[in-house]
Amino acid sequence: MLTRRHLLASTSSVLASSAAVAALGGPAFAQSGATIKIGAILPSSGILGSYGILYRSAIQMAVEDINAAGGINGAKVELLAEDDQAQPNQSVLLFRKLVNDGAAFVVGPVTGTSWENTAPIANAMKVPAICWTALKSGISRKPYALRIHPPNDTMIPEGMAEIKKIIPNLKRIVVVGDEREASTSEGIKLWAAAAKANGIEVLETIGFQTGTTDFSPLAIKVRGHNPDALFFSALGPPALALVKEMETQGFDKPMVGDSTVWAGGSFIQAVGSAGKNLHTLGFSTNETWVGNDKYNNYVQRFIKRTEETTNLPRPINVCNTSLAYDAVMMGADLLRKGGVNGSTAPAAARDAVKNGLDGLKKYDGVNAITMRDSGDGHIQAHVLKAAPEEKIWKFVLPPDQRLNTPATPMKL
């Protein structure tokens, strides 16, 4: 029979053990069956739901590969994935939750605004976070919050240089974009700056707000300028509305978006004929990469797995999912090298990842990533073109004609 004394005693012991665990930096991995927990923050619902579902497949595949290869120093990996709906406040709350749940490191969140808000928290809590997306520059925070995706300060100048090669007569452009989202807000300014640096006249820069429902007034304004091309920076859903409206308005000049439209699980499948003059920036596609078996193997396995486990529209867009895979593999490698196993306390495991990230100059995963002093990765960006009938992105230039000179990070 449960007496008041028993209840008091057991409550006291729970409180005491909780205090001890808190003092030691969270629950030891051994308490949960000797697994090492990896956190992931990504939207699996909301307007960027398809992005998260796509990336989660890559992350899950990485976890499966790690466990199939024997885990990390004998300990299996457990994925704790949380849906932040691409809302920055949720990203921060879920980061704290994952820390309390004992994650050795966290991958994500996905958007620039979320990353900008989460990176300082990662440092304050001394928990490593590895972001594989987000484009706004200057928001990674060493030593705990690193991003392996190249930000727009290198992608856009590299892309603009290649665009000049592809469209040599480019003289006058209009730049539009979402001014509320962190990455796209900076993207607008970087497109304009890169254009000017390449001797291209920017006729007007037009901003809109996340949630804009009707792009026809904007499209009429753009059409009125009669530019040689439209450059834009917007997440998938508003970008889709924009390019469809431009088509409806009879705009048949090139449209160039930054890599926000390259990524995601549904944009390229939904764009249809509006994508016939559409370009973006990226560094990988569904196409076979001649001579890169590691990449081709990833693409083949990723597409198969994602087709089997999700109902995303076909064909599955590979885009930068390999970076999500690499983010998990990188963290696991650092845990392995740091001697972390199933009985290591989270604080020690987090230190191992942080120390590894601190000295990281290059990472050879599916992608060859060079780490910059800013805590961001660099991979050379190239211009991709939508193939609306096949519903995939393709490189515009063959490998031997692509520009491969890394850009000096552009300052605004």
Token code pair at residue 112: 């620039």
The reply to whether 314 sits near another protein by the rule CB under 8 A is no
The reply to whether 317 sits near another protein by the rule CB under 8 A is no
Cα 219 to Cα 236: distance, rounded to the nearest angstrom: 17
Token code pair at residue 239: 């970008």
Query: How near is the Cβ of 229 to another protein at its closest, in Å?
Result: 19
The one-letter amino acid at 39: G
CB-nearer residue toward another protein: 91 or 380 = 91
CB-nearer residue toward another protein: 275 or 356 = 275
Contact status, residue 57 vs residue 309, Cβ threshold 8 Å = yes
Interaction residues for another protein, span 204-223 (CB under 8 A): 204, 206-209, 211-218, 220-221
Query: How near is the Cβ of 214 to another protein at its closest, in Å?
Result: 6
The reply to whether 224 sits near another protein by the rule CB under 8 A is yes
The 144-183 contact track toward another protein, x by CB under 8 A, reads: -----------------------------------x----
Query: How near is the Cβ of 49 to another protein at its closest, in Å?
Result: 4
Contact status, residue 378 vs residue 155, Cβ threshold 8 Å = no
CA 178 to each of CA 84, 182, 234, 279: distance values in angstroms, whole numbers, following the listed order:
20, 9, 5, 18
Cα 46 to Cα 346: distance, rounded to the nearest angstrom: 31
CB-nearer residue toward another protein: 10 or 216 = 216
What is the CB neighbour count within 10 angstroms for residue 7? 10
**Site residue total, another protein (CB under 8 A):** 43
The 33-52 contact track toward another protein, x by CB under 8 A, reads: ------------xxxxxx--
CB-nearer residue toward another protein: 234 or 366 = 234
The 230-269 contact track toward another protein, x by CB under 8 A, reads: ------xx--xx--xx-xxxx-------------xxxx--
CB-nearer residue toward another protein: 169 or 311 = 311
CB-nearer residue toward another protein: 191 or 267 = 267
CB-nearer residue toward another protein: 31 or 209 = 209
**Pairing mode of beta strands 382-387, 392-395:** antiparallel
The reply to whether 81 sits near another protein by the rule CB under 8 A is no
What is the CB neighbour count within 10 angstroms for residue 171? 11
Query: How near is the Cβ of 94 to another protein at its closest, in Å?
Result: 18
Query: How near is the Cβ of 153 to another protein at its closest, in Å?
Result: 23
Query: How near is the Cβ of 19 to another protein at its closest, in Å?
Result: 40
CB-nearer residue toward another protein: 170 or 174 = 174
The reply to whether 228 sits near another protein by the rule CB under 8 A is no
Query: How near is the Cβ of 324 to another protein at its closest, in Å?
Result: 18
Binding site for another protein (CB under 8 A): 45-50, 179, 204, 206-209, 211-218, 220-221, 224, 236-237, 240-241, 244-245, 247-250, 264-267, 270-274, 311
